[in-house]
A and B are shown apart, each in its own frame.
Chain A
Amino acid sequence: MTDLATSPTRGQSQAVRLLLRWSLYIALGFFVAIYLMPLFVMVTTSLKSLEEIRTGDLVALPREVTFDAWFTAWSGACTGIKCEGVQPYFWNSVLIAVPAVAISTLVGAINGYVVAQWRFRGANIIFALMLFGCFIPFQVVLLPMARVLGIMGIAGTIQGLIFVHVVYGLGFTTLFFRNYYVTIPIELTKAAKVDGAGFFRIFWSIFLPLSLPIIVVTVIWQFTQIWNDFLFGVSFSQAGTQPVTVALNNIVNSTTGVKEYNVDMAAAIIAALPTLLVYVVAGKYFIRGLTAGSVKG
């Protein structure tokens, strides 16, 4: 991309160009401030006492920094009747996300490998059917899934939620790996077959070593999706098995007692921390997943 703003256009004086440049920075800075404001407000509110929140300014820095709200949010805040903070639900989310991410990524890798490299008749139709599954509004499967989880005996359990996330994550994980493996020449697989290597041998020693970037993209995508999920979490969990997003919503909307905004904010940050961390550490892969997940092709 050529640089349009600094390229000399006829009749533009130095002063005008400088002015344009500064307005550009001001506009960009304005958006930066807007995007950071909610995070800033969340952090500062979580560090204030309730007294200071009532008397002070929304965007003011805390006069006195206190971590009380954080301790309460982690282990004392009430979700309905229980008052154990978000801690148990945070671990529920971990227990749900880790196996669900691992299984859906592994199965997606094998699926993508089959669809891209072992093209048999009908493979593309199967792929298209799976792809379409990514797009359905999940409301359309909630009712039957609730019944099937009951029949399987895993209604309201962590295993049930893992199962649901794996099933509805497969479309995306398959898509990611398929689109990655389709760029690897099929001749490679054919040559390996001629040399006597089998299905798993080829996957294990040729494709897997090439797959690190797409594994990272898929794991990050799935982790963000599953960690941030609310619909499945609220529909298919029960008192002890709720994920952290559901617990957060219960804390914020619990009607008993004084509204503790600082605790709400601390709990929200705790719930957001894992995915934020992933974004900060591996933002590049996160964005790649987003664009791959949205711009199909």
Chain B
Amino acid sequence: MTSPPRFSRGGVPHAGEQLMTKWLEDHLPKLMLAPSFVAVLVFVYGFIAWTAWVSLTRSRLLPKYEIEGFIQYERLFASPRWDTALNNLFIFGALFIVIAMALGLLMAILLDQNIRTEGAIRTIYLYPMALSMIVTGTAWKWILNPGLGLEAMVKGWGFEGFSFDWLVDPDMAIYTVVIAALWQSSGFVMALFLAGLRSVDGEIIKAAQVDGIPTWRIYTAIIIPSMAPIFLSAFIVLAHLAIKSFDLVIALTGGGPGFATDLPATYMYAMAFSRGDIGQAASSAMAMMAVVFAIVVPYLYSELRSQKND
């Protein structure tokens, strides 16, 4: 902050200066927020608009700005590679979300039984979340490689017929991405659910126990239904992770074999930086944006509304 210019000679401030200081004082909060606001307007919303615009042009290596309609989207949806990417996103997303939630809930319930070493176990379940997806991908690429990894190990134990070559099998490779992603993120879902279990009213559970209701019924009828909002949050986070998945695929399979494990994020990157097809990159980015919109906007809206009602 530079101080306002001094007009007065003596100790008495000039009226103009006083006004200036007053104005600054009143508007300081706005002034402080303004740079971030402008940054978000330009770098988020402006950039989305730019990408949307370019997705309607014939841009290839360089962007063009004459709008030509939906040709890029027609090309996109006619492309077999994009088709694979979308299918993969669907398979990967569905399996990843459902299994991560199931595993997370199971581990949270298991951990919630007065385990003395809970802190240590929780730390172990959650540490992969601190790793980069590139590290996770590198580790699993090594473990799952058929030549020297898991497959070779089990064969070495005497099971000669054992085969686990999903990593190099175009039909199965996407499931290795699911495995690595689950390892990375299910502990986090566990942490969410564990916090949820702890917030259920203990009195109700005690009352149910006094009534002789079996434990599994207490879980299915009382505890789990009361955690509905946490299921929703977990779903949003996992769906968001799935759509953005990029690093993991790059490190684990590189999108291969062939394009077998391409996801929309890797498709977009390939078009933007190796194929030099800006039009396709922009339209695929907008398609990803649309999926995120469809999931996140209703959620954010309901969140902001419920906050207002508090």
Task: Name A residues whose Cβ lies closer than 8 Å to a Cβ of B.
Answer: 1-7, 9-10, 24, 27-28, 31-32, 34-39, 41-42, 45, 53-54, 57-59, 107, 110-111, 114-115, 118, 120, 123, 126, 128-133, 135-148, 167-168, 170-171, 174, 198-199, 224, 227-231, 234-235, 245, 248-249, 252-253, 261, 264-265, 267-269, 271-272, 275-276, 278-280, 283, 286-287, 290-291, 294-297
Contact = CB atoms under 8 A, between A and B. Distances in A.
B33 A111 contact: yes
28 contacts: A1-B198, A24-B113, A27-B110, A28-B121, A37-B143, A45-B142, A107-B36, A120-B29, A126-B33, A128-B304, A129-B45, A130-B40, A133-B40, A135-B296, A139-B285, A142-B272, A142-B285, A143-B282, A144-B47, A144-B50, A168-B43, A198-B25, A228-B133, A231-B246, A248-B134, A268-B139, A271-B134, A279-B127
Contacts of B37: 126, 129-130
Contacts of B46: 144
B268 interface: yes
Contact of A261 (B148, B215, B219, B240): B148
A9 B123 contact: no
A80 to B, nearest CB: 15
Nearest to A248: B134
B132 A227 contact: yes
B51 to A, nearest CB: 5
A16 to B, nearest CB: 12
A54 B148 contact: yes
Given A58-B148, A144-B50, 9 more contacts: A57-B156, A58-B149, A126-B33, A136-B289, A143-B285, A144-B47, A234-B269, A268-B139, A290-B188
B286 A271 contact: no
Interface residues of B, number: 106
B124 interface: yes
A110 B36 CA distance: 10
B159 interface: no
Q: Which interface residue of A38, A224, A228, A287 has the most chain B CB atoms within 10 A?
A: A38
B20 interface: no
Contacts of A27: 110
Contact of A38 (B43, B45, B143, B152): B143
Nearest to A45: B142
Given A230-B250, A276-B130, A286-B130, A199 B135 contact: no
A139 B131 contact: no
A4 B33 contact: no
Q: Which interface residue of B142, B206, B278 has the most chain A CB atoms within 10 A?
A: B142
B298 interface: no
B278 A9 contact: no
Contacts of A142: 268-269, 272, 281, 285
Interface string B128-160: 111111111011111100001110110010000
Contact of B153 (A59, A118, A133, A286): A59
B228 interface: no
Contacts of A31: 107, 110, 121, 125
A29 B267 CA distance: 39
B43 A2 contact: no
A287 B127 contact: no
Q: Which interface residue of B33, B121, B202, B246 has the most chain A CB atoms within 10 A?
A: B33
Given A171-B40, A276-B127, A290-B191, A144 B51 contact: yes
Contacts of A120: 29-30
A147 B36 CA distance: 20
Given A2-B206, A231-B247, A268 B138 contact: yes
B8 interface: no
Contacts of A28: 107, 110-111, 115, 121
Interface in B267-296: 268-269, 272-273, 278, 281-282, 284-286, 288-289, 292, 296
